[in-house]
Structure 1
Amino acid sequence: MQHQVLINTARSLMAPGKGILAADESTGTIKKRLDSIGVESTEQNRQAYRNLLFTTAGAEEFISGVILFQETLFQKADDGTPFPDLLTDKGIIPGIKVDMGAKPLAGSPEEKVTEGLDGLRERLSDYAAAGARFAKWRGVIDIAEDRPTDYCIHVNAHALARYAALCQEAGIVPIVEPEVLMDGANSIERCEQVTDAVLDAVFTELKRQNVLLEGMLLKPNMVISGKQCPQQAGVEEVARATLRCLNRRVPAAVPGIVFLSGGQSDELATAHLDAMNRMGPQPWALSFSYGRALQAPALQAWRGQADNVPAAQQAFLKRARNNGAAARGEYNADMESAA
């Protein structure tokens, strides 16, 4: 019975033409976002911004789920409706970010390991009671000349699988997010090599810890050139390399893959997803779980002003619609200039 609930939720999150809004910025990250538009990061302003996103009319046509930060899970909309209830009423599944962030890895302090397993079973019980039906945990893998080490890959894969097993025990679908960062000067070939090793380790650990693959989603990076790399791979090359890597390592039992945008521009993240979906059916559905790439235009349009809410909602709806089209392989650049 529990297995079927997990499978049904995972499939609902992968509904055709829909993806996931990552609105789970930690207190530090949302402060940076609000600082960028000159808005103070108070609880009231954070609530107002999330309220703007969640009450956007029509977004439910393209958004299947929203990942919330712990603070947001327990906040209410302007009309007093708890955010999880507001989303559920629109047919959007509420989720929750459960990790406690990446910290320096003991013995290899230039690398990171994600913390938050202590007390996670109890927290998951509280989150489920508050309405969360899926969760997210992000592992961070950096590429440099001597990184990542096998040690770093292994401890992050182990933690991701521990988290996933605890989620499924609580009836919550885990989104497993091993992110290979794109900040370096590495080539796309090096990114593919590292991503391959990371996914291999992650699925080995998931199997060891008896995680039900049909009741989870994968949230990986795309295989892409590092930001500092002088030779940037084109859209088709990124799509081909990403699919080659995923087909090599991700079992067909996984119902869906929701990509992170990883610092790509809004339009490039959409174009990459579209290109992959145009390359024919894959063993798993391919969609998005974007944060900044869905929100950036809305944030710029809003700037903390109540009068700007309609314009900000239009900007968010446009990005949701365009990414929904990319999830079907039906996006084209002309949609960016359309009103």
Structure 2
Amino acid sequence: MNQAQFDKVKSGNGFIAALDQSGGSTPKALAAYGVPEDSYSGEDEMFDLVHQMRTRIITSPSFNSDQILGAILFEQTMDREIEGQYTADYLADKGVVPFLKVDKGLAEQENGVQLMKPIHDLDETLRRANDRNIFGTKMRSVIHEPNEKGIKDVVDQQFDIGKRIIEAGLVPIIEPEVNIHSENKEKCEEILKQEILDHLNNLSDDQNVMLKLTIPTKPNQYRELIDHPHVVRVVALSGGYSREEANEKLKENDGLIASFSRALAGDLNANQSDEEFNATLKNAVDSIHDASVNKK
């Protein structure tokens, strides 16, 4: 593990950019960026275009290590280059810590939750991640209802895989997202917090994780998780909130920082000039950074 990167993620002032849209969500990401599906044909061309989009974001002067602690990448992005360097190396040279999305998407809903699909090639992916100088990983499940068994299954699965990631020398971001549209969102969060605490309290001294959670309905609901000795950092997903709403909710939670995707890149467009693009990105970065470090 890179100790300087660990220290930056643990105590740095900033947020983590989520640039990890994968196969299923890539067309939507491109469409939002002003590249409609009928403008390309086949997956290869689609992934070339999304890499161009991510390259434009990462190389922008508005994407800087003073405000951005880390960036979460999709597997193909890890294997591609930016200006002659593998993406993680380019980020590291820029002072931004690289993470990798390792899940394969969501299973069908059962017991009010969606577990992760099996990750059959996890060991090989983690080996390649180490070869590519990745610091940590991210994997996502979704909670829709306050079903105790379902939420327990989600957290059990996350920590079981998380321990394998720790054994590989990487820091896992455990992401049991609570659907912001859940009619019982606060109850889901209460159950989730206790399940996470139970697992954290059973980790050994050398096992550390990060958490990526939906911004809670009750401010500072996750303070005990943020302060836990086995938690490197707790970051928040925007979850479908607008950037303005996500930022306002984030400001109410001490110690919680952003890890936004759509809320970061939503106003960017392929047809913008470099000046317009960089100014738009700077506005997003400034506002998310402010919400992450300046609390009410």
TM-score strictly above 0.5:
yes
CA contact (8 A) 2:226 2:234 kept: no
1:240-289 per-residue CA deviation (whole Å, 9 max, x = no partner) reads x130x213555521232111111111111112222334xxxxxxx32111
Q: What is the correspondence of 1:96-135 to structure 2 with a 5 Å cutoff? A: 96-104=100-108, 108=110, 111-135=113-137
Give SS of 2:29's match. Answer: helix
**For the pair shown, which has the larger CA radius of gyration, 1 or 2?**
1
Once residues 211 and 218 of structure 1 are traced to their aligned partners in structure 2, the CA distance between those partners, rounded to angstroms, is: 17
Q: 1:211, 1:160 → 2: CA distance?
A: 19
Tell me the residue number matched to 2:26: 30
Q: Which residue of 1 aligns with 2:263?
A: 293
After superposition, the C-alpha distances for 1:294-315 in whole angstroms (9 at most, x for unaligned) are: 11012xxx2x33x623322221
1:85 to 81, 85, 89: 89
Deviation at 1:97, TM superposition (A): 0.4
Match of 2:236 among 237, 241, 259: 259
| Gap runs ≥5 in structure 2 | 41-45
Aligned 1:202-217 pairs, distance under 5 A: 202-208=196-202, 210=204, 212=206, 215-217=208-210
Aligned match of 2:181: 183
For residue 262 of structure 1, give the secondary structure of its aligned residue in structure 2: coil
Measured in 1, the distance between the counterparts of 2:283 and 2:205 equals 36
Corresponding position of 1:314: 279
**Counterpart-to-counterpart distance in 1, 2:196 and 2:158:** 7
CA distance in 2, matches of 1:116, 1:110: 19
Q: Give distance in 2, aligned partners of 1:126 and 1:193.
A: 39
Aligned-residue sequence identity (percent) comes to 23
The answer for the alignment partner of 1:232 in structure 2 is none
2: CA distance, partners of 1:324 / 1:15:
14
SS state at 1:294 partner = helix
d(CA) in 2 for partners of 1:269, 1:211: 34
With over 3 angstroms needed to count, the CA separation of the structure-2 counterparts of 1:63 and 1:249, relative to structure 1, is closer
Question: What's the offset of the Cα at 1:19?
Answer: 0.7
The offset of 1:210, in angstroms, is 4.1
Q: Aligned residue for 2:215?
A: 222
Counterparts of 2:63 and 2:234, CA distance in 1: 20
CA contact (8 A) 1:24 1:68 kept: yes
Q: Which residue of 1 aligns with 2:294?
A: 329
- SS at 2:278's partner residue? helix
Deviations 1:53-96 (A, max 9, x none): 1001142221111000001111112x332211211110111110
SS at match of 2:266: helix
Give the partner amino acid of 1:178.
Answer: P
Aligned CA distance change for structure 1 residues 35 and 166 (closer, same or farther; 3 Å): same
For the aligned residue pairs, the C-alpha RMSD in angstroms reads 2.3
Q: State the alpha-carbon separation in 2 of the partners of residues 102 and 210 from structure 1.
A: 29
Paired AA for residue 126 in structure 2: L
Alignment TM-score, normalising by the size of structure 2: 0.87
State the distance in 1 between where 2:202 and 2:124 align.
Answer: 23
Report 1:128-277 matches (<5 A).
Answer: 128-143=130-145, 148-184=146-182, 186=183, 190-208=184-202, 210=204, 212=206, 215-224=208-217, 241-243=218-220, 245-247=221-223, 252-253=228-229, 254-277=231-254
Deviation at 1:207, TM superposition (A): 4.1
The one-letter amino acid of 2:283's match is K
Matched, 1:68 2:73: yes
CA contact (8 A) 2:19 2:54 kept: yes
With structure 1 as the length reference, what TM-score do the two structures score? 0.77
Q: Provide the rounded CA distance (Å) in 2 between the counterparts of 1:315 and 1:14.
A: 28
